[in-house]
Amino acid sequence: MNQPPDSLAGPSSDVPARTSTTRVFLALAPPDDAKDELAQALRPAYDAYPRMRWNRIEDWHITLAFLGEIPVTTVPPLMPPLARLAAQHQPLQLAMHGGGHFDQRVLWSGVTGKLEGLHRLADDVRTTVRDCGVRFPERPLRPHLTLARSRRGDHTTAAEAAATLTSFSGHTWQARHLHLVGSNTGRGPGPIHYRTITTWDLGHSV
């Protein structure tokens, strides 16, 4: 699946200028049964903190490289080299484990398993993107799934919600796909809604 959808084919004369860029990242995603397991562990936090900005379960992911806002024209050239890269990496055994927070605002669940392979995949993804001439924010990889954000001014909810995940240990699952994801939809006070642009199988020859 190497061709971008119409939304990434480039701006036309009747499309507003804002669509000439897109916000994208590369990620792994847990399978549905692993997400359901984590969602079950989160039920007490869902009930106790309904005003948190909870991410949709279908949007949970492990970010490998956040490219930020880039021109839509730079996306199609990334696809062939990323497809080749995915074919060179084998699926990874991972699991979700525990929870925590960033800056008392962002609630997350941690990731365990084949972390050496995960870091190697992330390094190769980032190198491939840079080799394609795309510059992006250099952030250290901290494998996690972002689950929710506290409202501005609320400096306790995320930490309290994280405590409900202290003993959580999910079952092992296999990450089989590398996803190129866009997050231009749903901006505003509510959760961001992601869309998958394309997906490549790990370890699948191209």
Tens-digit pLDDT profile for residues 4-42: 444 454 433 343 444 688 899 999 999 999 999 999 999
Instruction: Determine contact, residues 187/18, Cβ cutoff 8 Å.
Output: no
Rounded Cα distance, 199 and 26, in Å: 10
160 contact partners, CB below 8 Å, separation of at least 6 = 48, 49
- Owner of token pair 């003993």: 167
Of the two residues 12 and 193, the one the predictor is more confident about is 193
* Helix %, strand %, coil % of the chain (to 5): 35, 35, 35
* Residue range 32-63, pLDDT digits in tens: 999 999 999 999 999 999 999 999 999 999 99
- Within 10 angstroms of residue 202's Cβ, the number of other Cβ atoms is 20
List residues bridging with 113 in a β-sheet.
Answer: 94
Residue 189, pLDDT score: 54
User: What's the CA dihedral at 103, 129, 132, 195 to 10 degrees?
Assistant: -80
Largest pairwise CA distance in the chain: 54
pTM, two decimals, is: 0.85
